[in-house]
Structure 1
């Protein structure tokens, strides 16, 4: 089989696998059903992918890596621009960054749908938790830089940081959980963005009542 033909066959398998996973979830999907949709025998599929999990990973891992890269770039940029006059980025900059993340999600919506809604039983079932852990670690680095600049930190923030970040991600990923259209997500973000920004601003700047 030529490389071109093999590549086309692999792409067809992945397309059918994606449809199967989205419809039935990882746990409910079967290699036999995927093979039937691809017009192949089950044995033929195993020559391309050793098991169902490897198929799932092939669909989502490139998107996981891409999103991680964007998060890390944004975190590094925020830390680099941290100073004593501006603890948080400007609202417009934060809004632009959030829209960048949402744009990436909608460019790869099927993969995020798989990760958020259909990954139970797969090796990527803990993706959202891993994403939260990544952000917690990046935020801790940000807080360490604040300490270096002698900026005050709220009491107990480090202890409760994972909970605060988890809630932020649960709210953000609701666009995937609810399978919002792109237009619906924009309406949602118009409400969510000021809500999140005001919350983090209050926490980090200490603009709250004792």
Structure 2
């Protein structure tokens, strides 16, 4: 019985990634991808149903890793968090932001594919769907803070989704515009100064000598 030749699989994926990055999904050519990988179209179709299946295979690992880290970071028993921990969860921490930028920069090409080259695939709404996923997770933190009277009570999930969309746009854009790592480092400082979640959501201050403010 013939043993399937898996040695060409990485070549197909790398050729596909290059083609999708240069032309986007809709204009990408399976013929060009096969030529770049040095394989026949028959060999490609033995492995993938078509161009969209190949695009999904190209970004699959990055998508799985993103969703995994989102799940891990949001998986906390909120009832066990102190008031201070809940408030601190909304800090615009520079080191945490740099962690996100580095994490995404290490997956630069696939992240760009998802944001800018996925029209016509199941990932065409990735930017929106990613924010929707994070809104669901973040809403739990906000609802717990509201339940304890730590912040404004009039911020609903739709409002939070809009705010997170604006926030994540500042993360998406450097990748769409092909920022260098040095540019991203400088950009991170600006983003941290731009977003003040404590003020926007009316969180009670924990700074000594300052009055609490929960008003809109």
More helix by share: 1
| 2:25–2:119 contact (8 Å) kept in structure 1 | yes
Residue 186 of structure 2 is aligned to residue 203 of structure 1: no
| 1:82–1:88 contact (8 Å) kept in structure 2 | no
TM-score scaled to structure 1, two decimals? 0.87
- Structure 2: which 5+ runs fail to align? 205-212
SS of the residue 2:120 aligns to: coil
2:103 corresponds to: 104
Which stretch of structure 1 is more off in the superposition, 69-78 or 52-61? 69-78
| Alpha-carbon distance between aligned partners in 1 of 2:14 and 2:134, rounded to the nearest angstrom | 31
| Alpha-carbon distance between aligned partners in 1 of 2:79 and 2:60, rounded to the nearest angstrom | 29
| Alpha-carbon distance between aligned partners in 2 of 1:130 and 1:109, rounded to the nearest angstrom | 19
| Alpha-carbon distance between aligned partners in 1 of 2:131 and 2:17, rounded to the nearest angstrom | 25
1:59 corresponds to: 58
Question: How many pairs does the alignment contain?
Answer: 205
Deviations 1:14-66 (A, max 9, x none): 11000000000000001111111112221221112121111111111211111
TM-score scaled to structure 2, two decimals? 0.85
1:10: how far off? 0.5
| Alpha-carbon distance between aligned partners in 1 of 2:100 and 2:163, rounded to the nearest angstrom | 19
1:88 corresponds to: 88
2:135 corresponds to: 136
Residue 30 of structure 2 is aligned to residue 49 of structure 1: no
Return closer, same or farther for 1:10/1:159 CA change in 2, 3 Å cut-off. Answer: closer
2:210 corresponds to: none
SS of the residue 1:125 aligns to: coil
Return closer, same or farther for 1:96/1:82 CA change in 2, 3 Å cut-off. Answer: farther
2:182 corresponds to: 183
Deviations 1:88-137 (A, max 9, x none): 33857x32322222111111111001101111111111111110100110
| Alpha-carbon distance between aligned partners in 2 of 1:50 and 1:90, rounded to the nearest angstrom | 44
1:161 corresponds to: 160
